[in-house]
Amino acid sequence: GAVVSQHPSWVICKSGTSVKIECRSLDFQATTMFWYRQFPKQSLMLMATSNEGSKATYEQGVEKDKFLINHASLTLSTLTVTSAHPEDSSFYICSARGSGAGYSNQPQHFGDGTRLSIL
Amino acid sequence: GDSVTQMEGPVTLSEEAFLTINCTYTATGYPSLFWYVQYPGEGLQLLLKATKADDKGSNKGFEATYRKETTSFHLEKGSVQVSDSAVYFCALLNTGGFKTIFGAGTRLFVKA
């Protein structure tokens, strides 16, 4: 089945540093990738949607200058948390959907998530 | 707008018990419906899906039937195992849709 690889799975860093998270679709081309944030014992909160070759669309309340998203190719999207602070600590999950025939009914495929801890 | 409502958890069952997690939706048109499962510390995995009314999705002993008349997609399993302990998310993707709409998730604990 479709596989989405997310890296790193866990990162701890000091306050003020920037952290980049990669999301790759391994066996399909992902026209659209989604970035979610999940707080403990809560559902997923969609942060932004990225389309290959264009600017990401951010959900209301998400700081685009804080969470930089780049979707440079059909198999790679990156999320960079800039100048991270302890309140940015969370579980970040990427997701990708394929392109082509039947696209509108295709489920999203998820990475395993990145646990980010800012000290 | 489109929405998904799931029963609140946590749901605690003994091994081999019957499981039902209720899910209802509100949507215009004819959405596709999904159940995802999230094991501790991991991302979401697609468990099953149904793309039209009366379709039954099934996988790993789990089943859900797309009921348009009741706008429901309840998840069932005849005999749960401890390894089924996870969070289950019901979701929909509307026709021509772009974003999947997720329910709040239902946490399941299965005791040995």
- The pair of structure tokens assigned to B25 is 């939706």
Q: Which of B110, B93, B88, B101 is nearest to B7 (CA)?
A: B88
Residues of A in contact with B44 (CB under 8 A): 44, 93, 95, 110
3-state percent helix, strand, coil for chain B, nearest multiple of 5: 5, 50, 45
Counted across chains A and B, CB pairs separated by less than 8 A come out at 51
Average pLDDT, chain A: 89
B6 shares contact with chain A (CB less than 8 Å):
no
In this complex, do B100 and A107 lie within 8 Å of one another by their Cβ atoms?
Answer: yes
Provide the pLDDT for residue B42.
85
Tokens 């701890």 belong to A12
Nearest-angstrom CA–CA distance, B59 and B47: 6
φ and ψ at residue A105, rounded to 5 degrees: -105, 0
Q: Which member of A49, A107, A113 has the closest CB to residue B99? A: A49
Nearest-angstrom CA–CA distance, A34 and A72: 14
Residues of B in contact with A105 (CB under 8 A): 32, 51, 93
Q: Above 90 in pLDDT, residue A39?
A: no
Q: Above 80 in pLDDT, residue A105?
A: no
Percent of chain A with pLDDT over 90: 62
Burial class of B89 by CB neighbour count within 10 A (0 to 12, 13 to 18, 19+): buried
**Coil/strand/helix, residue B93:** strand
Residue B38 C-alpha, separation from nearest chain A C-alpha, in angstroms: 9
The string of pLDDT tens digits covering residues B21-62 is 999 999 988 899 999 999 988 888 999 999 999 999 999 999
φ and ψ at residue B72, rounded to 5 degrees: -130, 160
The string of pLDDT tens digits covering residues B62-101 is 999 999 999 999 999 999 999 999 999 999 987 766 778 8
Nearest-angstrom CA–CA distance, B11 and B16: 14
Q: Above 90 in pLDDT, residue A116?
A: yes
